[in-house]
Structure 1
Amino acid sequence: MRILTVLTYYRPHTSGLTIYAERIAKAFVARGHQVTVLTSQFEKDLPLREMMDGIEVIRSPVLFRLNKGVIMPWIGLQATIEALKHDVILLHLPQFDAAGISLRGRLFKKPTIIAYHSDLILPPGAFNRFVNFVVDTANRLTATFAHRISAYTEDIAEHSPYLSSYPKKVRVITPPVELPEAALAVIGAFRFRHNPERKRVIGMATRFASEKGVEVLLDALPKVLEKHPNIKVLYAGQHEGVWGEQEYFARLIPRIRELEAAGKWKFLGVLPLTDMPAFFANLDVICVPSLNSTETFGFVQVEAMMNGVPSVASNLPGVRQPVKMTGMGEVIPIGSSDALARALIRILDQP
């Protein structure tokens, strides 16, 4: 079977969505299918075509960037050519261009499936409200033409205004989570590099973005430090130069620099996937204080739990499910730094 996968960002970009798309594409290839990924050339030095792990990656040139999105003038033509050559179309939403591609799926009689990852909620402002409206309209047109829509959990399928509008098309498919086991020597080497003091560790693994709730953790830390002064935050993920988040970073970074100077916070940057098992194994708790429905699951929770690490997660549809399903951690009210502090203290109180 020839499968055309379309999404805005693919490798080497790192996010939960791109990791999910990559895992699915590799799994199809391993089963003998032919997979093509049509995506954006979000950095000009990326090749327009290349083979990655047996997957053909086609990148459409970007005319300009629109907040966290991109405008690709040639993607319609490229999608037409590729749709005609493939048997199935898989669209990862949200993405602005998906409506036209799903229409091509209907016109060309190609089964078209949506993998719905999250809503798009941009920072406040008239222009961003317009962009949100356009993308939401495009997503709904995409659903009209698509044959099936996949959702991570029943929880998000029931509570998402988007997914709940198409109950006959939605199928719940638990997302794939893969994490190799780290050798003890590798775990120890990671600790020696990043936590030689052997402090108790609170982890975050995500882009530095306003919807991720970094300030909720910052507001909770003073109370946690009162009870557990020997703690440290290890933050894995892109923290500088995140598209559309410069003001947010500038507002929070002075507080973080103070914590860094006191040895209470360390940015690790974007870790290779091969280093993530050692990262999780060095945590006492992982923190997922997300603020809105741009987060609908939180793969890092499951990956941490696979290493015996509990999670403190926001009470958002989907995000709360790993804790509820496993009992490993606590669910807190959205945006409550007091509740986050209490939950972290309770977990850190345990030996």
Structure 2
Amino acid sequence: MPYNIAMISDFFFPQPGGVESHIYQLSSKLIDRGHKVIVITHAYAGRTGVRYLTNGLKVYHVPFFVVYRETTFPTFFSFFPLFRNIVIREQIEIVHGHGSLSNLCHEGILHARTMGLRTVFTDHSLFGFADAGSILTNKLLKFTLSDVDHCICVSHTCKENTVLRASLDPLMVSVIPNAVVAENFRPLGYSHDSQHRAAEKPRLGPDDTITIVVISRLFYNKGTDLLVAAIPRILAAHPNVRFIIAGSGPKAIDLEQMIERNVAQDRVLLLGPIRHEEVRDVMVQGHIYLHPSLTEAFGTVIVEAASCGLYVVCTRVGGIPEVLPGHMTEFAKPEEDDIVAATGRAIAALRAGRVRTELFHNQVKQMYSWTDVAERTERVYDGISGVLSHDEFYQGAGAGGAWSATRGRAGVQSFALIERLKRYYGCGIWAGKLFCLCVVIDYLLFVFLEIFAPRSRIDIARNWPKKDRKECREREPASKDGLGRKRSSKHRREKRELRSES
């Protein structure tokens, strides 16, 4: 059954990152499966209004003030008129939000529930329970997920974290991992012959240079401080090792100072920010990928590194141990000494020829697929829309799924205002009352808009011409970054007609 879906998040292209790539790839695959998908995000420098991406993916860049790390300033209710206009114009049935720290996501889910739309939330992050920032974030998440139809997490560790943070029924949370387009992350010398693998690499000698690659946002939670402390020790212990570091962030100055102090300009190359389509070209220059993150729900970049034929050294935190099999990774504690030791073990293993990195690409290709992610996400949409029965959707929950006093069966969310207020009231002694007040105001604003800005005045947008599924399967990507596809002359003609009539 085809759906009209709105992906909503503060995090989307042109900003690079795992959430951004996840939204784009998932949307593209859902479009290939016959659904209509749009993306709602905030305006970026040079990108405002409506943009079309490959495959007919329409992106609404709404003009809101950005305050920190590309997240918008909380507006609560001022976003509702614009959101309602977009949803009615595009005839949206399901609103799918991404990111615990995305204000657009939280507000969009609140407004969607007020409008009587089904909602899904995908969590891509891990948060603690003790510091002030985590407490406030968890309370905001509790507010949003109290009235969401279903939640998706990218790893089992992420699911446990989200269930605890938002006090959810575990049946309401599915685990659907990220994926990669393996064809966009091929190692050097990869052959398309019958063996389908990269050429076998010669064993590295004691005098051969080993390149360690780091591609990350340079923030505290990504372990940049550990990286700054570990690099001088690794360089001192291994004379024939060099680093290539790509990324940007507030910790970039610390890396530059470390290089100056240690006079390591000839052994540490800082590339600065790079585009996603350039990631593969940087990775294939290396032998080892170092990922010293302090917290990570999944870690898509380490899958990309393994697909490029790099041996991965990473910290054993969050959902990282679930991502790759043991023969592709060398794990370390999130401590300076252990990262230095793990990197040394990885260097020794490569020099001894104990790691067959040329086999990694095909193994990753078999493990991760965006088509599989789209199929599993589509099953979630079927479950919340009633296409699947409760017994089919919530397998293993007993006859008909778990019951709750205010929810009914797990996953069945009533749109009745009184039922919504019951769910929000249970979020805390003071927070519950505040949440109920927000919902009531949101509902009154919705009634006001329905009266003074009736739906009949909103033009319905024309849908992008549907492509035949067989044609989609046969068409090969035209660019290595996955953002371009060959178009048939018929498709180009339909595109011109659509633009001329709109």
TM-score, normalising length: structure 1: 0.82
Residues 128-173 of structure 1 show CA distances to partners (whole Å, capped at 9, x for unaligned) of x4x6554432222111111111111223222453367441210011
Alignment of 1:225-264 (within 5 A): 225-237=235-247, 239=248, 242=249, 245=250, 248-258=251-261, 261-264=264-267
Larger Rg: 2
User: Alpha carbons of 1:319 and 1:228: their partners in 2 closer, same or farther (altered >3 Å)?
Assistant: same
Q: Does 2:337 correspond to 1:338?
A: yes
Q: Does 2:123 correspond to 1:116?
A: yes
Residues 165-203 of structure 1 show CA distances to partners (whole Å, capped at 9, x for unaligned) of 4412100112121132547479xxxxxxxxxx9731111
User: Alpha carbons of 1:332 and 1:344: their partners in 2 closer, same or farther (altered >3 Å)?
Assistant: same
d(CA) in 1 for partners of 2:87 and 2:320? 34
Secondary structure of the structure 2 residue equivalent to 1:38: strand
Moved more, 151-160 or 254-263: 254-263
Aligned to 2:389: none
d(CA) in 2 for partners of 1:24 and 1:199? 39
The residue type equivalent to 2:34 in the other structure is G
| Pairing partner for 1:205 from 215, 218, 234 | 215
d(CA) in 2 for partners of 1:18 and 1:257? 34
The residue type equivalent to 1:287 in the other structure is L
Q: Any stretches of 5+ residues in structure 1 without a counterpart?
A: 187-196
d(CA) in 1 for partners of 2:303 and 2:244? 18
| Pairing partner for 1:283 from 266, 283, 286 | 286
Residues 30-61 of structure 1 show CA distances to partners (whole Å, capped at 9, x for unaligned) of 22322111101132x32221111111111111
d(CA) in 2 for partners of 1:260 and 1:36? 49
Residues 256-302 of structure 1 show CA distances to partners (whole Å, capped at 9, x for unaligned) of 3456753121122333433333333322211111113xx21111111
| Pairing partner for 1:168 from 171, 180, 197 | 171
Secondary structure of the structure 2 residue equivalent to 1:3: strand
If asked which structure has higher relative contact order (CA below 8 Å, sep 6+), I would say 2
User: Alpha carbons of 1:309 and 1:257: their partners in 2 closer, same or farther (altered >3 Å)?
Assistant: same
d(CA) in 1 for partners of 2:305 and 2:154? 18
Which 4+ runs in 1 deviate beyond 6 A? none
2:142–2:166 Cα contact (<8 Å) kept: no
Residues 211-231 of structure 1 show CA distances to partners (whole Å, capped at 9, x for unaligned) of 111221221223322331111
d(CA) in 2 for partners of 1:198 and 1:3? 52
The residue type equivalent to 1:7 in the other structure is S
Aligned to 1:77: 81
Moved more, 16-25 or 280-289: 280-289
Residues 60-80 of structure 1 show CA distances to partners (whole Å, capped at 9, x for unaligned) of 112352465222755322222
The residue type equivalent to 1:80 in the other structure is R
Q: Does 2:105 correspond to 1:98?
A: yes
1:311–1:328 Cα contact (<8 Å) kept: yes
2:10–2:70 Cα contact (<8 Å) kept: no
Aligned to 1:40: 42
d(CA) in 1 for partners of 2:80 and 2:209? 52
**Identical-residue share of aligned pairs (%):** 20
d(CA) in 1 for partners of 2:317 and 2:211? 24
Aligned to 2:94: 88
Aligned to 1:191: none
1:96–1:139 Cα contact (<8 Å) kept: no
1:163–1:170 Cα contact (<8 Å) kept: no
Moved more, 5-14 or 278-287: 278-287
User: Alpha carbons of 1:213 and 1:48: their partners in 2 closer, same or farther (altered >3 Å)?
Assistant: same
User: Alpha carbons of 1:222 and 1:257: their partners in 2 closer, same or farther (altered >3 Å)?
Assistant: closer
User: Alpha carbons of 1:300 and 1:259: their partners in 2 closer, same or farther (altered >3 Å)?
Assistant: farther
Q: How many angstroms does 1:12 deviate by? A: 0.6
- Number of equivalenced pairs: 322
Secondary structure of the structure 1 residue equivalent to 2:6: strand
Secondary structure of the structure 2 residue equivalent to 1:300: helix
d(CA) in 2 for partners of 1:102 and 1:64? 19
User: Alpha carbons of 1:66 and 1:269: their partners in 2 closer, same or farther (altered >3 Å)?
Assistant: closer
User: Alpha carbons of 1:104 and 1:159: their partners in 2 closer, same or farther (altered >3 Å)?
Assistant: closer
d(CA) in 2 for partners of 1:100 and 1:215? 34
Q: Does 2:296 correspond to 1:267?
A: no
Which structure is higher in strand share? 1
d(CA) in 1 for partners of 2:109 and 2:187? 45
d(CA) in 2 for partners of 1:317 and 1:344? 20
TM-score, normalising length: structure 2: 0.59
Aligned to 1:318: 319
d(CA) in 1 for partners of 2:167 and 2:263? 44
d(CA) in 2 for partners of 1:92 and 1:151? 10
Aligned to 1:107: 114
2:187–2:307 Cα contact (<8 Å) kept: no
1:233–1:264 Cα contact (<8 Å) kept: yes
What CA RMSD, in Å, does the superposition of the two structures yield over aligned residues? 2.6
d(CA) in 2 for partners of 1:87 and 1:216? 45
The residue type equivalent to 2:302 in the other structure is Q
d(CA) in 1 for partners of 2:179 and 2:257? 37
1:159–1:317 Cα contact (<8 Å) kept: no
d(CA) in 2 for partners of 1:108 and 1:19? 29
d(CA) in 2 for partners of 1:213 and 1:139? 25
Secondary structure of the structure 1 residue equivalent to 2:31: helix
The residue type equivalent to 2:114 in the other structure is L
Moved more, 306-315 or 155-164: 155-164
